[in-house]
Amino acid sequence: MLNNIKSIFCKKIFFSYIDEKVKLSIIKYNKSLQNTLAINIINYKLISEKHIVYITKNEGKEYSSSYNKILYEGEYLNGKRHGKGKEYDEIYDYIKYEGEYLNGKRHGKGIEYNFYGEKMINIIFKGEYLNGKRWNGKGYDGNNNIIYLLKDGKGYVKEYIYNFKLFEGEYLNGEQNGKGKEYYYNNKLKFEGEYLNGKRNGKGKEYYYDGNLKFEGEYLNGNRWNGKELNKDNNTIYEIKNGKGYTKEYTDYDRLLFEGEYLNGKKHGKGKEYNQYDALQYEGEYLYGKRRTGKEYIQSKLLVFDGEYLYGKRRKGKECNNGYIEYEGEYLYGKKWNGKGYDESGKIIYELINGNGTVKEYNYGYKVFEGEYINGERNGKGKEYDFDNNKLIFEGEYLCDERKEGKEYNRDGILIFEGEFLKGKRIKGKEYHNGYLEYEGDYLNNKKWNGKGYDENGYLIYELNNGNGKIKEYIPDSINELLYEGEYLNGKRNGIGKEFIQKYSDYSEDYNHDVNEGVNEDEYPQYYLKNEIIFEGEYLNGKRWNGRGKEYYSPDLLIFEGEFVNGEKNGEGKEYYYDGKLKFKGEYLNGNKWNGEIYNSKNNKIYKLKNGKGFVKEYGEYGALLYEGEYLNGKRHGKGKEFNGNDKIIFEGEFLNGKRHGKGKEYNENGKLIFEGEYLNGKRWNGKGTFYDENGNLSFKCEYLNGEEILH
């Protein structure tokens, strides 16, 4: 039966390793094929446009097809998430959900997490899910305080991504229903109005990033239906009636994105699209919100494509480069498939048949690749080019659209690596810096692992064995920008080493030349990048451990300079505000300020700390007051007050070892009391709580008993 299955999927699945070492191209699959594969092999992959899934019996893992990062691990049934599992954030790699699934959706008990910064991962929802929606449970803010309750999918909810509030409003049936508000990442209002089944429906208003009114009217199924759009001068720029009209769409910063015809609240008919630089990038016809037939441009005038689209992706047409036709033919899912390629004189230089041949790829008119194709993707010999300066950045062989073996160059065309790759990452080869061989050997996860390092004269200066030894780390693709020099253990910084930062240095201080020799000073470099030591001492498991070092906001903005012992600030040190003014000067103990003087943002000394004890004020990096009260052992201890960064009190009461502990009162951003009672280790323990919505109306009341809340 397998011989009768004619698909790209079968060709690749049976002629590739069935493990994580080979990334397959994105293709379609069907149920019968899944069943066939399940019978014949133990480990297999189900592939969609976003995920690659590895399944062993009823357990498996999903990976991002673009970033090669884990997205899910857990139980499956019939190729879908089913049972217990965990979801991961694609960018920051933290667990964003762990709990139960049913037929591919969150269903049952679960906990949802949010990322608020380094080492700050908090629960944002805990409870029950129904068909992928939050249903019964509690919502939390970044301080693990309860901010809303859901019962049978109903409540007043606040949604966050990382530490940014995206939405707050009414929920019904586990989704947005009723009145609500959406926010920009700067916490300014983006939309306020009515929702139905998770979409904007009914009356509403949109706002620009600066707070000016952008649109006011009615919505239907998430689309504008009746109303007027205004520019920042409050002048009407178009009006839409019953989802139909000639409209203009603008970015949050008042830049034109689209102008053309609307039908049923979507682009339909003739229209034009513009990029962020106000340049025309498409003109043509639309069908139900998607491009249908038209022309694509770069820099407003240079034609790059003329043809037909299917579901918004190129289907058939001509691709142009610098005024001449570069390709003419058919596309499959937006990729060249059956057609011919031409040079500037109109001569045929390549031909594609079912995605096979030798091609050239362009991105908005700039060549980014030339080489061999199989099944519509890079396979065989090829070259990659930098988008900005058109210089060669890689040449070699490809497998399944990934680099397999070849040479890498930086943006200046200088060789930085030659060797082998797996899933696009280095596994074996030679690394160069400033023109000389710096390392030769094996890599693991793109890191040097087994090999030897050399200086510019070719002398051996270090050797790595399974990630152990002495090493030099450089900024990727740089010529000679050093990050670290020292000892390694298990592929991490361990032992004695030095850490560097790249700062621009004035030639007058470091440039070795005599100005009095009569050379024209215009010939001198005005500045250059210098490797400056920011830490020197011992490392443990990749972290600074013992020594003297510096911490920075950015290369020229110092946060801290001083001594480290056992991975924490210990000994003499100084802290600085974001503008470079002194914040603290003195001694540290186990990471806490111990003896010294604290300054406000105006550089005035405001108090002294002795043996970790005193009445202190804490300020944020921009000088905003965050805490004032008693200290003991370098931590908040005793009576004190916390502020929100805008001089408003959010808590007043007792602290123990840096945490709220004992009697206290908690306030919301509007100054209303929301909790009064006892705290234990930073958590509400015994007392009464009263919570309000964004309009100041009572949302719910509760009582706390031994850390458990009892609703009224």
**Spatial distance between the Cα atoms of 249 and 266, rounded to a whole number of angstroms:** 11
Same-domain status, 684 and 708: yes
Q: How many residues does the chain have?
A: 712
Report pLDDT for 511.
43
Same-domain status, 645 and 656: no
Give the CA distances from residue 420 to residues 315, 429, 471, in Å, rounded to whole numbers and listed in that order.
35, 6, 21
In a domain, 450, yes or no: yes
Distance of CA 674 to the CA centre of its chain: 34
What residues have CB less than 8 Å from 13, skipping those under 6 apart? 24, 37, 44, 45
Give the CA distances from residue 39 to residues 24, 56, 164, in Å, rounded to whole numbers and listed in that order.
20, 12, 47
In a domain, 154, yes or no: no
* Phi-psi region at 237: left, alpha or beta (left = phi > 0; alpha = psi -120 to 50): alpha
Report pLDDT for 425.
87
> What proportion of the chain, given as a percentage, has pLDDT over 70?
84
Instruction: Dig out the tokens for 279 from the structure.
Output: 């340049």
Report pLDDT for 516.
44
Q: How many domains does the chain have?
A: 3
Confidence band (pLDDT; 50, 70, 90) for 495? confident
Confidence band (pLDDT; 50, 70, 90) for 31? very low
**Spatial distance between the Cα atoms of 38 and 365, rounded to a whole number of angstroms:** 44
Closest by CA position to 370, among listed 349, 354, 344, 389: 349
Task: Decide: helix, strand or coil at residue 678.
Answer: strand
**Spatial distance between the Cα atoms of 676 and 707, rounded to a whole number of angstroms:** 13
Same-domain status, 451 and 588: yes
What residues have CB less than 8 Å from 392, skipping those under 6 apart? 383, 384, 385, 386, 409, 413
Amino acid identity of residue 242, one-letter, is: N
In a domain, 332, yes or no: no
In a domain, 35, yes or no: yes
Report pLDDT for 327.
94
Q: What is the mean pLDDT of the chain?
A: 82
- Count of alpha carbons within 13 Å of 596, Cβ hemisphere only? 20
Confidence band (pLDDT; 50, 70, 90) for 47? very low
Instruction: Dig out the tokens for 624 from the structure.
Output: 């905003």
What residues have CB less than 8 Å from 32, skipping those under 6 apart? none
Closest by CA position to 530, among listed 499, 501, 497: 501
**Spatial distance between the Cα atoms of 446 and 424, rounded to a whole number of angstroms:** 9
Report pLDDT for 442.
94
210-252 pLDDT, tens per residue? 888 999 999 999 889 999 988 878 888 888 999 898 888 877 6
**Spatial distance between the Cα atoms of 148 and 136, rounded to a whole number of angstroms:** 11
In a domain, 258, yes or no: no
Are 280 and 299 in contact, with CB atoms under 8 Å apart?
no
Instruction: Dig out the tokens for 302 from the structure.
Output: 């240079």
Same-domain status, 576 and 624: yes
**Spatial distance between the Cα atoms of 303 and 360, rounded to a whole number of angstroms:** 17
**Spatial distance between the Cα atoms of 458 and 324, rounded to a whole number of angstroms:** 49
Asked if pLDDT for residue 697 goes beyond 80, the answer is no
**Who has greater pLDDT, 427 or 544?**
427
Domain ends where: 622, 650, 678? 650
438-464 pLDDT, tens per residue? 899 999 878 888 999 888 888 888 888
Same-domain status, 640 and 666: no
In a domain, 257, yes or no: no
Task: Pick from 239-248, 490-499, 562-571, 653-662 the range whose average pLDDT is largest.
Answer: 653-662
**Who has greater pLDDT, 299 or 149?**
149
**Spatial distance between the Cα atoms of 476 and 456, rounded to a whole number of angstroms:** 18
Asked if pLDDT for residue 525 goes beyond 60, the answer is no
In a domain, 129, yes or no: no
Q: What is the DSSP string of 161-203?
A: ETTEEEEEEEEETTEEEEEEEEE-TTS-EEEEEEEETTEEEEE
**Spatial distance between the Cα atoms of 115 and 703, rounded to a whole number of angstroms:** 28
Asked if pLDDT for residue 38 goes beyond 50, the answer is no
In a domain, 277, yes or no: no
Report pLDDT for 170.
94
Domain ends where: 89, 110, 128? 89
Give the CA distances from residue 366 to residues 350, 357, 411, 415, in Å, rounded to whole numbers and listed in that order.
18, 20, 15, 22
Asked if pLDDT for residue 318 goes beyond 80, the answer is yes
**Spatial distance between the Cα atoms of 81 and 165, rounded to a whole number of angstroms:** 29
Same-domain status, 577 and 476: yes
Asked if pLDDT for residue 137 goes beyond 70, the answer is yes
Amino acid identity of residue 141, one-letter, is: D
- For residue 240, the cross-strand partners are 227
Asked if pLDDT for residue 417 goes beyond 80, the answer is yes
Same-domain status, 581 and 672: no
Are 470 and 461 in contact, with CB atoms under 8 Å apart?
yes
Gap between the terminal Cα atoms of the chain: 64
Same-domain status, 592 and 508: yes
Long-range contacts of 696-704 (CB under 8 A, 24+ apart): 696/670, 696/672, 699/148, 699/156, 700/149, 702/146, 704/675, 704/677
**Spatial distance between the Cα atoms of 85 and 73, rounded to a whole number of angstroms:** 6
Task: Decide: helix, strand or coil at residue 263.
Answer: strand
Handedness of CA 694, 698, 699, 702 (dihedral sign): positive
Same-domain status, 571 and 661: no
Domain ends where: 33, 59, 89? 89
Same-domain status, 693 and 544: no
Instruction: Dig out the tokens for 694 from the structure.
Output: 């964004």
Confidence band (pLDDT; 50, 70, 90) for 117? low
Q: What is the average per-residue pLDDT within 285-310? A: 91
Report pLDDT for 523.
47
Residue-range definition of the domain harbouring residue 74? 1-89
Same-domain status, 452 and 493: yes
**Spatial distance between the Cα atoms of 125 and 137, rounded to a whole number of angstroms:** 7
Same-domain status, 596 and 666: no
**Spatial distance between the Cα atoms of 111 and 120, rounded to a whole number of angstroms:** 16
Asked if pLDDT for residue 400 goes beyond 80, the answer is yes
Instruction: Dig out the tokens for 515 from the structure.
Output: 């100005």
